[in-house]
């Protein structure tokens, strides 16, 4: 969606509340403040000293829902807080935008999707894959016969401080797999769907000797098997340099390589067939898509994206389950347990 300076008028802006804190406030707050499409009308969650200037601040996040006739609430807090507070926004019939993951486990994610369907509101969980699609994937010069048979997702990043919410199971739901690896898992599910079987290991072994242990995993390895014999490998780790975030889809005669910056099609002889950049304005682009959905467009896309987040939640939980049982597990069982139709991703 094209954005011009003429869209800065109040009649074109979506009136929003912001509930955010900590590292996620630093990620989202400046983008919200600079957006020509959003009019922040209330905020909470952060210390008053860290609040956006010129926007009413409340010490109770629930007061944001009734403030200034807002149309939507933007969340950038811990997964536990986001899920809980977003439920209050839905009760008010407010649209919701959040950072991933969609939930701390599949049952929680399934309940969110059920409630959104009942309420008929827009509920967006920010999607890196939509950024890839909009700016690169669909414009690549794909051969008609390309079908990935092996995919490999790799992420390595610095681990959190011991006091970070990402290290606390009840707040985060999971560790490096559920958070740092999430964009790659979304890209994997979008292209390959859900596997039939998952074998995995997830451990917490890389904390410095003098530090308190993380409750969430810092290392996760998983082997995925798909119908027809296709496979995928996931490797995620905190504090295991060098830092990287990439996913590769390999098929006959061609590989598609995705990093945070670009998508590249590479022939088996190593020659580059096509290359497209991915802009680094992920949050701003996702908020533009959210505004478009709230205004009445692209609602089907918002629904499909939410369904894909549900599938990612199923994959993450299946990796954790397989790591605990030390046996192959299937994400399809989670859908059956919840009485949910298999995804159409």
pLDDT of residue 162: 81
Band of residue 22 on the pLDDT scale cut at 50, 70, 90 = confident
Does residue 4 or residue 320 have the better pLDDT? 320
pLDDT of 54 above 90:
yes
Cα distance between residue 271 and residue 134, in whole Å:
25
Query: Is residue 157 one of the residues assigned to a domain?
Result: yes
Q: Indicate if 322 and 184 belong to the same structural domain.
A: yes
6 has pLDDT over 60: no
Among 10-24, 119-133, 181-195, whose mean pLDDT is lowest?
Answer: 10-24
Q: What is the pLDDT of residues 140-151, one digit of tens each?
A: 988 888 899 999
209 found inside a domain = yes
Burial class (CB in 10 A: 0-12, 13-18, 19+), 221: middle
Q: pLDDT exceeding 70 applies to what percent of the chain?
A: 93
Q: What span, in angstroms and rounded, lies between the C-alpha atoms of 342 and 337?
A: 11
Over 60: is that where the pLDDT of 311 sits?
Answer: yes
Q: What is the CATH number of the domain that holds 324?
A: 3.30.360.10
Which pLDDT score is estimated for 145?
Answer: 83
Closest CA to 16 of 53, 61, 60, 68: 68
Q: Are residues 246 and 333 in the same domain?
A: yes
For residue 228, what pLDDT is reported?
Answer: 87
Residues 52 and 148 in one domain: no
* Together in a domain, 25 and 152: no
What is the number of structural domains in the chain? Answer: 2
Query: In the prediction, which pLDDT does 211 show?
Result: 64
Could you tell me how many helices (H) and strands (E) the chain has, helices first?
9, 14
Domain region containing 148 = 130-279+311-337
pLDDT digits (tens, 9 = 90+) for 233-274: 999 999 888 999 999 999 998 999 999 999 999 998 999 999
Same structural domain, 266 and 177: yes
Please name which of 317, 342, 345 lies closest in space to residue 192, comparing C-alpha atoms. 345
- pLDDT over threshold 80, residue 210: no
Residues 183 and 97 occupy one common structural domain: no
CATH no. for residue 66? 3.40.50.720
110 falls in which pLDDT band (50, 70, 90)? very high
Same domain, 216 and 136: yes
Residue 19 included in any domain: yes
Residue 306 in domain: no
Do residues 271 and 287 share a domain?
Answer: no
Quick one: 186 and 104 in the same domain?
Answer: no
Mean pLDDT of the chain, nearest integer:
91
| Residue 343 domain flag | no
pLDDT tens-digit map of 70-99 = 999 999 999 999 999 999 999 999 999 999
Q: Provide, rounded to the nearest whole percent, the portion of the chain with pLDDT above 90.
A: 77
Confidence of residue 208 (pLDDT cuts 50, 70, 90): low
What integer pLDDT is reported at residue 85 of this predicted model? 95
Residue 19 has pLDDT above 50, yes or no: yes
Q: Is residue 298 over pLDDT 70?
A: no
pTM for this entry: 0.92
Are residues 119 and 77 both part of a single domain? yes
CA-wise closest residue to 246 among 312, 305, 306, 188: 188
Using the predicted structure, report yes or no on whether residue 322 has a pLDDT greater than 90.
yes
> Does residue 100 share a domain with residue 166?
no
Secondary structure percentages of the chain, helix, strand, coil, to 5: 40, 25, 35
> Could you tell me if residue 274 is inside a domain?
yes
Question: Are residues 205 and 154 part of one domain?
Answer: yes
Asked whether residue 150 is assigned to any structural domain, the reply reads yes
Residue 69 has pLDDT above 90, yes or no: no
């Amino acid at each position: 969606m094209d954005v011009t300076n003429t869209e800065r008028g109040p009649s074109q802006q979506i009136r929003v509340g912001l509930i955010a804190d900590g590292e996620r406030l630093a990620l989202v707050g400046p983008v919200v403040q600079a957006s020509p499409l959003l009019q922040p009308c209330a905020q909470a969650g952060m210390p008053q000293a860290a609040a956006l200037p010129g926007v009413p601040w409340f010490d109770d996040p629930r007061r944001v829902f009734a403030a200034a006739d807002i149309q939507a609430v933007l969340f950038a807090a811990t997964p536990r807080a986001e899920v809980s507070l977003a439920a209050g926004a839905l009760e008010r019939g407010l649209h919701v935008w959040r950072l991933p993951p969609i939930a701390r486990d599949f049952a929680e994610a399934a309940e969110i999707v059920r409630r959104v369907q009942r309420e008929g509101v827009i509920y967006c969980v920010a999607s890196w894959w939509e950024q890839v699609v909009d700016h690169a994937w669909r414009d690549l010069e794909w051969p008609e016969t390309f079908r990935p048979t092996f995919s490999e997702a790799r992420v390595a990043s610095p681990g959190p401080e011991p006091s970070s919410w990402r290290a606390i199971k009840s707040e985060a739901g999971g560790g490096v797999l559920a958070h740092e690896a999430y964009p790659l898992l979304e890209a994997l599910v979008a292209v390959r769907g859900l596997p039939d079987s998952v074998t995995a290991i997830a451990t917490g072994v890389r904390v410095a000797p003098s530090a308190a242990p993380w409750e969430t995993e810092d290392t996760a390895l998983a082997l995925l098997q798909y119908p027809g014999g296709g496979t995928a490998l996931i490797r995620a780790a905190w504090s295991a340099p060098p830092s990287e975030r990439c996913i590769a889809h390999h098929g006959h005669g061609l590989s598609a390589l995705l990093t945070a910056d670009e998508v590249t099609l590479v022939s088996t002889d190593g020659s580059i067939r096509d290359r497209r950049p991915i802009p680094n304005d992920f949050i701003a682009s996702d908020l533009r898509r959210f505004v478009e959905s709230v205004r009445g467009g692209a609602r089907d896309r918002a629904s499909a994206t939410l369904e894909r987040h549900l599938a990612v939640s199923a994959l993450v939980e299946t990796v954790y389950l397989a790591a605990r049982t030390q046996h192959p597990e299937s994400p399809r069982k989670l859908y059956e347990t919840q009485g949910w139709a298999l995804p159409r991703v």
